[in-house]
Amino acid sequence: MTTEERLDKLEHELSRMKKRNRRLWAGAACVLVLFLFWIHTHAPAVVRARQFVVEDGKGNPRVSLAVNRGRSELCLLNSKGEGRTWLTVGLKQSLILADKNGVIRASLVVDEDGPNLVLEDENREVQWSAP
Protein backbone atom coordinates (compact mmCIF):
# COMPACT_ATOMS: atom_id res chain seq x y z
CA MET A 1 0.00 0.00 0.00
CA THR A 2 1.48 3.29 -1.06
CA THR A 3 1.59 6.40 1.04
CA GLU A 4 -0.99 8.04 -1.20
CA GLU A 5 -3.39 5.09 -0.84
CA ARG A 6 -2.93 5.11 2.92
CA LEU A 7 -3.60 8.86 3.01
CA ASP A 8 -6.77 8.45 0.89
CA LYS A 9 -7.99 5.67 3.18
CA LEU A 10 -7.29 7.79 6.26
CA GLU A 11 -9.13 10.79 4.78
CA HIS A 12 -12.10 8.56 3.92
CA GLU A 13 -12.23 7.19 7.50
CA LEU A 14 -11.95 10.69 8.94
CA SER A 15 -14.82 11.88 6.74
CA ARG A 16 -16.94 8.90 7.82
CA MET A 17 -16.17 9.60 11.52
CA LYS A 18 -17.14 13.26 11.16
CA LYS A 19 -20.49 12.26 9.65
CA ARG A 20 -21.05 9.76 12.47
CA ASN A 21 -20.23 12.40 15.09
CA ARG A 22 -22.67 14.86 13.52
CA ARG A 23 -25.40 12.20 13.60
CA LEU A 24 -24.62 11.38 17.23
CA TRP A 25 -24.79 15.05 18.26
CA ALA A 26 -28.06 15.50 16.35
CA GLY A 27 -29.49 12.40 18.05
CA ALA A 28 -28.38 13.61 21.47
CA ALA A 29 -29.99 17.00 20.82
CA CYS A 30 -33.25 15.30 19.80
CA VAL A 31 -33.24 13.16 22.94
CA LEU A 32 -32.62 16.26 25.07
CA VAL A 33 -35.48 18.16 23.41
CA LEU A 34 -37.83 15.20 23.87
CA PHE A 35 -36.80 14.84 27.51
CA LEU A 36 -37.39 18.54 28.22
CA PHE A 37 -40.78 18.36 26.48
CA TRP A 38 -41.70 15.30 28.53
CA ILE A 39 -40.71 17.00 31.80
CA HIS A 40 -42.70 20.10 30.88
CA THR A 41 -45.85 18.16 30.02
CA HIS A 42 -45.62 15.75 32.97
CA ALA A 43 -44.69 18.18 35.73
CA PRO A 44 -47.39 18.47 38.38
CA ALA A 45 -49.29 21.76 38.38
CA VAL A 46 -49.62 21.70 42.16
CA VAL A 47 -47.38 20.28 44.87
CA ARG A 48 -49.22 19.47 48.08
CA ALA A 49 -47.65 18.95 51.49
CA ARG A 50 -48.17 19.84 55.13
CA GLN A 51 -44.66 21.19 55.51
CA PHE A 52 -41.79 22.42 53.35
CA VAL A 53 -38.29 22.82 54.75
CA VAL A 54 -35.54 24.67 52.88
CA GLU A 55 -32.01 23.65 53.84
CA ASP A 56 -28.70 25.42 53.35
CA GLY A 57 -25.67 23.87 51.66
CA LYS A 58 -24.72 22.06 54.88
CA GLY A 59 -28.14 20.43 55.29
CA ASN A 60 -29.27 22.72 58.09
CA PRO A 61 -32.94 23.79 57.98
CA ARG A 62 -33.20 27.54 57.31
CA VAL A 63 -36.86 28.08 56.34
CA SER A 64 -39.96 26.16 57.34
CA LEU A 65 -43.40 26.61 55.82
CA ALA A 66 -46.00 24.51 57.61
CA VAL A 67 -49.62 24.12 58.56
CA ASN A 68 -49.91 23.34 62.29
CA ARG A 69 -52.92 23.30 64.62
CA GLY A 70 -55.16 25.14 62.18
CA ARG A 71 -52.69 27.88 61.32
CA SER A 72 -50.18 28.51 58.58
CA GLU A 73 -46.67 29.38 59.71
CA LEU A 74 -43.53 30.62 57.98
CA CYS A 75 -40.46 30.34 60.18
CA LEU A 76 -37.00 31.71 59.35
CA LEU A 77 -34.21 29.89 61.18
CA ASN A 78 -30.63 30.73 62.01
CA SER A 79 -27.67 28.56 60.95
CA LYS A 80 -28.25 26.31 63.99
CA GLY A 81 -31.88 25.66 63.01
CA GLU A 82 -33.29 27.89 65.76
CA GLY A 83 -36.33 30.03 64.96
CA ARG A 84 -35.76 33.77 64.69
CA THR A 85 -38.75 35.09 62.74
CA TRP A 86 -42.29 33.70 62.61
CA LEU A 87 -45.19 34.78 60.45
CA THR A 88 -48.45 33.02 61.30
CA VAL A 89 -51.97 33.12 59.95
CA GLY A 90 -54.85 31.50 61.84
CA LEU A 91 -57.26 32.73 64.50
CA LYS A 92 -54.63 35.40 65.12
CA GLN A 93 -52.25 36.80 62.57
CA SER A 94 -48.80 37.50 63.96
CA LEU A 95 -45.26 38.52 63.16
CA ILE A 96 -42.74 37.59 65.86
CA LEU A 97 -39.07 38.66 65.78
CA ALA A 98 -36.35 37.25 68.05
CA ASP A 99 -32.79 38.48 68.58
CA LYS A 100 -29.61 36.46 68.01
CA ASN A 101 -30.03 34.82 71.43
CA GLY A 102 -33.54 33.62 70.62
CA VAL A 103 -35.24 36.15 72.89
CA ILE A 104 -38.46 37.49 71.38
CA ARG A 105 -38.02 41.23 71.05
CA ALA A 106 -40.93 42.35 68.87
CA SER A 107 -44.39 41.01 68.24
CA LEU A 108 -47.24 42.26 66.12
CA VAL A 109 -50.50 40.38 66.64
CA VAL A 110 -53.79 41.08 64.92
CA ASP A 111 -56.95 39.38 66.18
CA GLU A 112 -60.68 40.17 66.39
CA ASP A 113 -59.94 42.94 68.93
CA GLY A 114 -57.50 44.69 66.58
CA PRO A 115 -53.73 45.03 66.34
CA ASN A 116 -51.28 44.80 69.22
CA LEU A 117 -47.60 45.73 68.92
CA VAL A 118 -45.09 44.99 71.70
CA LEU A 119 -41.36 45.78 71.80
CA GLU A 120 -39.30 44.15 74.56
CA ASP A 121 -35.70 44.35 75.75
CA GLU A 122 -33.31 41.40 76.18
CA ASN A 123 -34.83 40.69 79.62
CA ARG A 124 -38.34 40.43 78.10
CA GLU A 125 -39.42 43.66 79.79
CA VAL A 126 -41.87 45.69 77.71
CA GLN A 127 -40.25 48.85 76.38
CA TRP A 128 -43.15 49.99 74.24
CA SER A 129 -46.58 48.68 73.32
CA ALA A 130 -49.66 49.78 71.47
CA PRO A 131 -52.50 49.93 72.28
Neighbouring residues of 49: CB distance < 8 A, sequence distance ≥ 6: none
Q: What is this structure's pTM? A: 0.64
Class of domain 51-130 as given by CATH: alpha beta
**Residue whose C-alpha is closest to residue 107's, from 115, 99, 95:** 95
Model pLDDT, residue 40? 78
Q: Is-contact 126 116, C-beta < 8 A?
A: no
Q: Is-contact 64 75, C-beta < 8 A?
A: yes
Low-confidence ranges of the chain (pLDDT < 50): none
Edge to edge, the sheet with strand 114-120 lists 51-55, 61-68, 71-77, 83-89, 93-98, 104-111, 114-120, 126-130
Structural domain boundaries in the chain: 1-43, 51-130
Model pLDDT, residue 56? 93
